[in-house]
Amino acid sequence: MAPASPLSRRVRSLVVAFSVFALTVLTSNASNASWQTWGPYRPNLYFGVRPQVPETLLMGLMWASGDSRDKLLSTLRDTCEQNDGMRGYGWTYYDTRLGGSQTMHDTQLQLDLDTDFLKTEDGATWAVRITGTPDPSAPDVNTSVILHVAVENVTSNGPKSLVCEKQTEGKDGIEAVCRGEIAALGELELNVLGDAMNNLVYNTAVKSVQVPEDKIWQAKSVFIDHLRALPGNQMTLEDAAGAGNMHFVQLTFQGPFKLMLTYHGVEATPLNPNTVESGLSSLRSTFPSTVDRVFPRSSPFQQDKYAKFTQEILSNLLGGLGFFHGDTKVDYSNATEYLETDLDFWLKAQAAMARAPITTTAPLTLLTHTPSRPFFPRGFLWDEGFHLLPVIEWDLDLAVSVLQSWLNLMDEDGWIGREQILGPEARSRVPAEFHVQYPHYANPPTLSLLFPILISKLAGTSPYAGHPSTYLSSPDDASRMLKDLYPLLARHYQWFRRTQAGNFTGAYPRPEGAIAGEGFRWRGRTPMHCLTSGLDDYPRANPPHPGELHVDALAWVGASANALQQVARHLGEQADADMYEKHVAAVKHNLDALHWDAANKTYCDATIASDNYTLVCYEGYVSLFPLLLGLMDADHPNLPAVLDLLSDPAKMWSDYGLRSLSAADPNYGKDDNYWRGAVWMNLNVLAVLRLRDVGLQNPAGQGRTPVQTRALSLAAQLRERLVNTVYNSWEQTGFFWEQYSDKTGEGTHSRAFTGWTACVILLLGLQFDKTTVGRGMDIASLGSSSSTLSFFWCR
């Protein structure tokens, strides 16, 4: 018999037992659950499941050495960490709608641990199978596995209860059952199915406890406290199953093991090991071809080794999706110092912040992908727009859900906090000095990048090969969705224009010919940092000046106006569309009138020096923003100079991608050295796509100009360098990284960074010849500048 069969046999009787139970005992609330409801939406944990419903059920997995109590306590794995002896971990395949498989290579514990998660599309059931495979050199290694389930805020939001029970030894292979009710989910049941290989060392322990609300997400510390309280060197909790708001099931194994946790609404048939096995194996076998279809690979990336790479980078981007709910800290003082009008504004703002009262808001809810599970397990506005670029190709409805969730965070003014640290669990991962969000601080409005893509897919002008989409199949649903989002997008845009406005009152000189009012300045600068721009330590005018204008801030306004223009046009709001189109034109005009340094032939920030309007040039990503955000056409007179800058090996062009700061800049590699040379994939991918876009334009219906040929050639070269950089580093280290060294291509800063680094997936199939654009799309025929944004992602 196959090794899994004892478990299967047990479960067959389990299924029978529960269908009887369901028919006779309980009636469920009408469930509105869907494929989105359940998932491993606690990406800060190695494995943790929760529904997209606030104040409900939190499930998590911990494991540790089972050799001794001391070892158990010192090796207990819970949250993803940078340095706990893993040789790599992450999803080898994962689809947000269905589930997937994650492996943790736990070298310290001499074990590979797999968590295979499967859910049904009706949202009524899910299961996780946990498999431990000892290293061949340590076949008898002991491992303790702790599953935990907690119920948040038992007394709020309707009836909630969970009662666990230990099953008599061996019965049907079920070690523990928890039954309960959560208002939003109805009556439910969880089962822990034990070891199919009979490798349990100790009796399974089931312990139910009541913890204060602030401990509800701290299963590890609750577990440790309870274990420490036991006498001697006991390694398992004492049995004490029953009612409580936190429940532990601890199993200790010697050698290989396999166990499963299943969830089901009482009216649903629970998943059993056979269905899980067959569900996972069909997912495993279809996933590669689905990925190939959505993200096709072209030369020179057709080899099989790139298939696994593509699957992993996508799986880990998707597997970083989290659902967050909780309060956040905001400084609503709106101190006049926050207008930042004085010459020493940053000092005055700091002083005002030190005395400002901090408000703890009502709980907010956010569905978001996360930049990095160990290091940044929370929502970042600047990152999310990039995360969604691959996601919208894979699963348009999922991307829309995330867009909606982010835009719904907006307050009445139009502000969205740039970093969403919701609730104490999220806060526990952030130093206290960064908790407070400021309503005068902006962040690049990257969500704008998604709207032209969304519109082009709705209009059928760009292909879509992802999961079937309700919006693409129902124009009514699509227009309702857009009508809801459009005013939010517009409000955020107006907020940005108002709060990040440059000073055009006449207090400072402005170049002749510039359009008054169409210039912007990031608030929140200090001499060394402009965190709000997203480019942290990228050099800017020093000292900061209240008369400054930032080229990237203006370009983001242009990108947002372009997005709004397209949405308005799609919705038939012609007057609005005309207005936004004028904004785009004004932005384009002022990029040149305010920010083009004709002597240095580069786009620059501007400041006031000796009462004069003065450009301050630090060549690097900031100089590329007019191109990166689609605001330069193929016939733009400054395009050749921009191409010179980015292709100059002494400046931005490196073997591994575009340097964030020119190697010729005196600040290159200095101080924090964060955005001062390293290669970042988000803006590099944008560069490839824009260069290609410019190269394929053909507004006048003529042949390709020399500058277009050059742009295409640069795009093609850059594409290969970027993919090779991320691929080689992944092959060597097992990880994707936050940024890459421009000198060696090594991954640097945070590892397990599958946020925007995953954007390279958009490059694998990119082709540069108009005749091979693919899927019948004639990109060049789309023509003029205002529509360039709508097709530049297409393959």
Residue ranges that bind ligand NAG, judged by CB under 6 A: 32-33, 37, 51, 53-55, 67, 142, 152-153, 156, 184-185, 201, 213, 254, 325-327, 334, 336, 341, 363, 413, 423, 503, 505, 507, 546, 599-600, 610, 612, 617
Strands 57-65 and 48-51, by their bridges, are antiparallel
Please tell me which residue in 84, 175, 738, 742 is annotated as part of the active site: 738
Task: Report in angstroms the alpha-carbon separations of 15 from 177, 264, 270.
Answer: 13, 11, 7
Q: Least distance from C-beta 237 to ligand NAG, angstroms?
A: 16
Q: Which residues pair with 419 in a beta bridge?
A: 380
Minimum CB distance to ligand NAG smaller for 156 or for 574: 156
437 DSSP 8-state letter: B
| Phi/psi of residue 669, nearest 5 degrees | 75, 5
Q: Least distance from C-beta 332 to ligand NAG, angstroms?
A: 7
Please tell me which residue in 114, 135, 411, 536 is annotated as part of the active site: 536
Minimum CB distance to ligand NAG smaller for 56 or for 92: 56
Rounded distance between C-alpha atoms, residue 255 and residue 199, angstroms:
7
* Residue matched to tokens 């709106």: 334
- 108 contact partners, CB below 8 Å, separation of at least 6: 75, 84, 85, 86
Residue 105, judged by CB atoms within 10 A of its CB (0-12, 13-18, 19+), counts as: middle
Helix (H, G, I), strand (E, B) or coil at 41: coil
746-764 per-residue burial string, b: 16 or more CB within 10 A, e: under 16 = ebbebbbbbbbbbbbbbbb
Minimum CB distance to ligand NAG smaller for 327 or for 648: 327
Minimum CB distance to ligand NAG smaller for 320 or for 502: 502
* Residue matched to tokens 């050799």: 67
Q: Least distance from C-beta 249 to ligand NAG, angstroms?
A: 19
Rounded distance between C-alpha atoms, residue 44 and residue 125, angstroms:
23
Rounded distance between C-alpha atoms, residue 257 and residue 365, angstroms:
37
Residue 78, amino acid: D
- Please give the structure tokens belonging to residue 646: 């980015």
Minimum CB distance to ligand NAG smaller for 54 or for 452: 54
Q: Which residues pair with 103 in a beta bridge?
A: 90, 114
| Sign (positive or negative) of CA dihedral 378, 384, 390, 396 | positive
Q: Judge whether 118 and 338 are in contact, CB under 8 Å.
A: no
* Residue matched to tokens 């600040």: 667
Rounded distance between C-alpha atoms, residue 380 and residue 756, angstroms:
11
536 is catalytic: yes
Strands 86-95 and 160-166, by their bridges, are unpaired
Minimum CB distance to ligand NAG smaller for 197 or for 681: 197
- Please give the structure tokens belonging to residue 404: 């909606």
Residue 509: which of 549, 550, 559, 566 has the closest Cα?
549
Q: Least distance from C-beta 751 to ligand NAG, angstroms?
A: 30
The count of other CB atoms within 10 Å of the CB of residue 425 is 22
- 139 contact partners, CB below 8 Å, separation of at least 6: 255, 256
Rounded distance between C-alpha atoms, residue 552 and residue 547, angstroms:
16
537 is catalytic: no
Q: What is the 3-state secondary structure (H, E, C) of 492-526?
A: HHHHHHHHCECCCCCCCCCCCCCCCCCCECCCCCC
Residue 775, amino acid: R
Residues known to be catalytic: 536, 738
